[in-house]
Amino acid sequence: MFQTSKRAILIGGGPISNIPDYLEDLPVVAVDGGLDACIQHSIKPDYFVGDMDSASKSAREYALSNQIPTKPIFEQETNDFEKALMHVDALGYICFGFLDGRIDHTLATLHVVQKLLHKRPVLLYGSEDVMITASTTIALRIPVGERLSVWPLGVVHFESSNGLRYPLEGIKMAAGCQIGTSNSVYKEDVRVTVSEQNIGTYLIILSNRYFKELFMLTDFYSVPK
């Protein structure tokens, strides 16, 4: 188990277009083939976890020679992303290399996010979009006209919204029933309010231009698992 009192960066083996410099003070966990990505981006991770079937031989040798703490988990009932979330105890998870590329891998990532519902935020960065998990009311500032999607993970009860073109007043969302794809911002100050009865988790999905805005939310919405 890797433990930190900060948010942790998880780096997977999928495509990674950019890792912002302002994250450099956060601990980095290489997730299987993500170790090769770390080496490519000149990042020395603090921890290495996975079933070790995707990391190259040279990357595994790098971990050994640089004395990077390593947690091999060979069972195949979970994927590497799930293994990382289960074995990294952090205030939040900033994740690169888990979207894009193979669609089955992206779907598996979203499956894990839905399966391991907890109160610590998971922020996923992709080549086009960025998304964050939430289970409580959130507020953020986004320019007018930008796309903002609300995607339920399970059943989610919303009380209201401010700043969205299509309001969420009294709506119950669930995949396969009602979702909130391609809503848009009509006032810069956006607020999504869940009802008192809500126990569900949802995704806020934006263009990855707004990674920093969602990253800042991870500082405010982290509570014990």
Q: What are 90-127's pLDDT values in tens digits?
A: 999 999 999 988 899 899 999 999 887 666 899 999 99
Q: Give the pLDDT confidence score for residue 70 in this predicted structure.
A: 96
The answer on pLDDT for 131 being more than 60 is yes
Per cent of the chain over pLDDT 70 is 96
Q: What are 59-93's pLDDT values in tens digits?
A: 999 999 999 999 999 998 999 999 999 999 999 99
> Distance between CA 159 and CA 170 in Å, rounded?
5
| Closest by CA position to 54, among listed 105, 93, 113 | 105
Single-letter amino acid code for the residue at 198: N
Q: How many CB atoms lie within 10 A of CB 16?
A: 22
Q: What are 33-63's pLDDT values in tens digits?
A: 999 999 999 999 999 999 999 999 999 999 9
Q: Which position has the token pair 């969302």?
A: 173
> Distance between CA 56 and CA 107 in Å, rounded?
24
Residues 6+ apart with CB under 8 A from 40: none
Q: Which two tokens stand for residue 140?
A: 């953020």
This prediction has a pTM of 0.93
pLDDT interval class at 13 (50, 70, 90): very high
> Distance between CA 41 and CA 82 in Å, rounded?
23
- DSSP string computed for 37-96: HHHHTT---SEEEE-SSSS-HHHHHHHHHTT--EEE---SSS-HHHHHHHHEE-S-EEEE
Element (H, E) at 217: helix 211-217
The answer on pLDDT for 220 being more than 80 is no
Residues 6+ apart with CB under 8 A from 220: none
